Amino acid sequence: MTTGIAARIADRIRHSGPVSVAAFMTEAMFDPREGYYATKNPIGAGEDFITAPSVSQMFGELIGLWCAQVWMDMGQPARFHLVELGPGTGQMMSDMVRAGRAVPGFLDAARITLIEASAALKMVQGRTLTPMGVEALWLDRLEDVPDGPAIIVGNEFLDCLAVRQAVKQDGHWHERMVGLDDDEDFTFVMGPRLGMDADLVPARLQDAPDGTLVEFRPGDRQLVDVLGRRFSDHPGRALFIDYGPAQSEPGDTFQALRGHEKTDPLAAPGTADLTARVDFEQLGALARAGGLDVDGPVEQGRWLKSLGLEMRAAALIRSAPEKKSVIARQVMRLTEPDQMGELFKVMTFSTPGLPKAPGFAPEA
């Protein structure tokens, strides 16, 4: 299948040479007219991929209560920004709000702000949240959120940030790029040696042997800078949940999902979800260097259980006994090691000195 996006990237390569994996990913996902997110809602059983909020209402409910606890730990500020990065269908925020209503004053104080790049998904989010009486503010970038205390959440947001790849050759990092083969199909090619950007390669992997492939996200540093500035001026805490290892690992994880199947990430850009795993060790190191307190990564399964997932499931089953097996399956999907329980991790970045975030206490 050829798309307008594929033709445009191919033209660019013919004129100016290969493009970075990050540039390829950005075009494919965010082209305003034909990009993957520009045109459709990809999340759900009948679509391309499933995320935790679409598995169960319990996920967003526990995150809503987590935010309410953080608000209390911040001293119950009379106004604060409750920000979600990449809210998808709005499902998680709607579950957060429903659970948050149980905590007096929490939602009255919250200014709900959604950071969303896709016009199509903004519409879906509005359709989910407006009937609940939620008055959300949509902004394009986290930097645009006005001053003030903030609690920020993002599920499967970091994995969408554009990723670059490099391979070590003769002791130096060279960028792995996307070019065209003899049939004019996209193919990976070796690009120039990384200059100053070589220090974006995760610290643990800097000394890896020749032939090692690594991934890094320039957007990680930018995000951590924004959070560091924001949380030094006003109290704040950000929660990220995503897939990836606790320690930086080498290897190519750039992947495409279409109809719940992995496909070739270079074929038909704009028609499949492109992501790569998140490097929590590197993110944590950047955040610490930027003056933030860091907790985690903790495995999603352990984190959800410590927040009371099983108690919430039992309560839901008591009120709807006929749903017992469905709810039990949802708990397994979110927590079992061979499902989302171990691969997905949870991490927070905070203003120094806030009480420990719920779910991050050291193991007894």
Question: Which positions lie near ligand SAH, rule CB under 6 A?
Answer: 37, 43, 51, 53-54, 86-88, 92, 115-118, 121, 155-157, 160
The H or E element spanning position 154 is strand 150-155
Q: How far is the CB of 326 from ligand SAH (least distance, A)?
A: 19
Residue closer to ligand SAH by CB (options 91, 282) is 91
Q: How far is the CB of 73 from ligand SAH (least distance, A)?
A: 24
Helix, strand, coil share of the chain (percent; to 5): 40, 25, 35
Q: Which residues of 232-262 are buried (b: 16+ CB within 10 A; e: fewer)?
A: eebbbbbbbbbbbbbebbbebbbbbbbeeee
Q: Amino acid identity of 48?
A: D
Residue closer to ligand SAH by CB (options 20, 351) is 20
Q: How far is the CB of 362 from ligand SAH (least distance, A)?
A: 28
Determine the residue with CB nearest ligand SAH: 86
Q: Amino acid identity of 318?
A: R
Neighbours of 172 (CB within 10 A): 12
Residue closer to ligand SAH by CB (options 121, 309) is 121
Q: What is the largest CA-CA distance in the chain?
A: 65
In eight-state DSSP terms, residue 146 is: P
Residue closer to ligand SAH by CB (options 114, 166) is 114
Q: How far apart are CA 293 and CA 281, in angstroms?
A: 14
Residue closer to ligand SAH by CB (options 54, 335) is 54
Q: Amino acid identity of 311?
A: M
Q: How far is the CB of 36 from ligand SAH (least distance, A)?
A: 9
Q: How far is the CB of 257 from ligand SAH (least distance, A)?
A: 11
CB within 8 A of 70, min separation 6: which ones?
151, 237, 354, 357, 358
Q: How far apart are CA 230 and CA 223, in angstroms?
A: 11
Residue closer to ligand SAH by CB (options 70, 160) is 160
Residue closer to ligand SAH by CB (options 54, 350) is 54
The answer to whether the beta carbons of residues 86 and 115 sit under 8 Å apart is yes
Q: How far is the CB of 90 from ligand SAH (least distance, A)?
A: 9
DSSP states of 91-143: HHHHHHHHHHTTSTTHHHHEEEEEE---HHHHHHHHHHHGGGT---EEES-GG
Residue closer to ligand SAH by CB (options 51, 57) is 51
Inter-helix orientation angle 280-289/218-233, to 10°: 40
Q: How far is the CB of 54 from ligand SAH (least distance, A)?
A: 6
Q: How far is the CB of 210 from ligand SAH (least distance, A)?
A: 33
